[in-house]
Amino acid sequence: MASAQYTTKTYTLNTGSKIPAIGLGTWQSPPGQVEKAVEYALRAGYRHIDTALAYENEAEVGKGIKNSGVPRSEIWITTKLDNPWHHRVQEGIDSSLKSLGVDYVDLYLIHWPSSTDPNDLKKTIPNWDYMKTWHEMEKLPATGKVKNIGVSNFGIRHLERLFSDPETKITPAVNQIELHPNNPSPKLVAYNTSKGIHSTGYSCLGSTDSPLYTNKTLLDLAEKKGKTVQQILLVWGLTKGWSVIPKSVTKERIEKNFQIDGLTLTDDEIKTIDSMPERFKVCGDDWLPDGVQVFFGDDE
């Protein structure tokens, strides 16, 4: 990427749709702050907003979009089907569209491969799992309510099961997964790519109070480049070929995270980051229903 124009960069999905390379994440953003964060981001030039039914902030996101003055047609909106809604896909998208105040979303994801019983969150829905959910998702693009469908937190074995089912007609456009130097998941990213699935990295900065911000390797590189650790992390992910959705509610940080055009990392600098030995996950699977395991440690 000779010119390193990340802020206008898009990735072409297997549907032909173009997803903006940088988006604003809204997971764990406190109530009352999301609306302003979305407005700040769109005014700063972001054109990709990521939310989810489970975040309970879609209404605020929708208000921020309206307040920004940016036309809906210029904004990529991703939202996600919550686990207890797996058997109610049509209701799920209708709920999200109503909260967001829009007629369609650009990308709708199965948030987790866990069909949770809405009456008992420690159990799964009887006679149902994410395979059936995906087949319900496949009906959505024809309705006009959803431009693209995809998944989130799916591992290789989840995707292999999906592809082995003769009823599967549509390949997910995106797999949104946790991606940062301490959870790089190279095997999973390579698998996604081999199947024509675009990877989006969530918690790409390592989330709130990230240990990455005090990592000497990253601090030294940031000092050398005259940039922030966050900016280095974003360009690392973009150079690797995935879209990134850094989360912030602070105007200055939202703007700073978008000021990365012109920043390039050499092959050696990428290798230095790749070789960081520490490992941690921001988001585990121990909160899911009994017997549901999502992460198997096979991503590397």
Active site residues: 55
Question: Is residue 172 a contact partner of residue 150, using CB atoms and an 8 Å limit?
Answer: yes
CA distances from 212 to 205, 231, 269, 295 (A): 7, 12, 16, 22
Token pair for 35: 């609306």
Task: For residue 118, give the 3-state DSSP assignment.
Answer: coil
Question: Is residue 64 a contact partner of residue 35, using CB atoms and an 8 Å limit?
Answer: yes
CB atoms within 10 A of CB 218: 23
Listed in sequence order, the residues at least 6 apart from 161 whose beta carbon sits closer than 8 Å to its beta carbon are: 131
Alpha helices in the chain (DSSP H): 34-44, 58-68, 89-100, 130-137, 156-164, 186-194, 216-225, 229-240, 251-258, 267-274
DSSP class of residue 27 equals T
Cα(first)–Cα(last) distance of the chain, in Å?
26
Token pair for 66: 């309206």
